Structure 1
Amino acid sequence: MNLQVEQVDKDLVHNFKIIGEIDIYTAPKLKEYLATLELVEGIEVELDLSEVNYMDSTGLGVFVGYYKEVKACNGKLVIKGLNRRLYRLFEITGLSEIMEIEQSKGGEDNASV
């Protein structure tokens, strides 16, 4: 139950690299960290999940809530680096139709759901 978040901003895009597991224990930490970013009109946020090795429905809830907050500011949220399993989780919940998602190259499958 380990989670790490690194922020690397490029130009006007706020980039977060999320590392580890997103579950009922770590999701509040992720939500708290994302809340530290001031959401302004037209903000652009990228969440890199290429090093997330586990995520449950609690993690999905964090992303849905954050997506709504960013959209309320006429902003853009991109979730990238999803391996096949995590992409499938977004797909079966219908979130892949709503959110902008960039799947990882090669579709690595190093995570469990």
Structure 2
Amino acid sequence: MTTLELEVDQKADWQVLTVRGEVDVTTTPRVRAQLISLLSEGNPQVIVDLEGVEFLDSSGLGALVAGLKLARSRSGELRIVCDRQRSVRKVLEVTGLERVLERYDTVDAASAA
């Protein structure tokens, strides 16, 4: 069974979505729904912390891109935190999404930039 934990927090003017576990075809709908909920609220400034993600497939990437599009449509931003998880970082690099998604090493760095 695929495990996924989502946690929402606040850091300065940013909403932080911390994702832990595996983001795949079975868990992506939860991630996507949470992103849509956060971005549809008053403040469309979201940081997605992927440090606890062990696996990320194409459906998860699709949710991140959809979140980015929604953020931009609301004059907001979506930033990614991914430093230690080499497998996730590698997926972003190989797909070219590292050039599209703003990636930071820490939540503090993402919220301060």
5+ long unaligned stretches in structure 2? 107-113
Q: Pick from 80, 85, 88: which aligns with 2:87?
A: 85
**CA apart distance, 1:41:** 7.7
Label 1:94 to 1:41 Cα distance change in 2 as closer, same or farther (>3 A).
farther
Aligned to 1:64: 65
| RMSD (Å) for aligned C-alpha atoms | 1.8
**CA apart distance, 1:39:** 3.1
Give, in whole Å, the separation in 2 of the partners of 1:57 and 1:38: 21
Aligned to 1:14: 15
| Structure 1 residues 17-75: Cα deviation after superposition (integer angstroms, max 9, x where no partner) | 10110000000111112222243687321010100011111110110111110011121
**How high is the sequence identity, in percent, across the aligned residues?**
29
TM-score by length of 2: 0.83
TM-score by length of 1: 0.83
More helix by percentage: 2
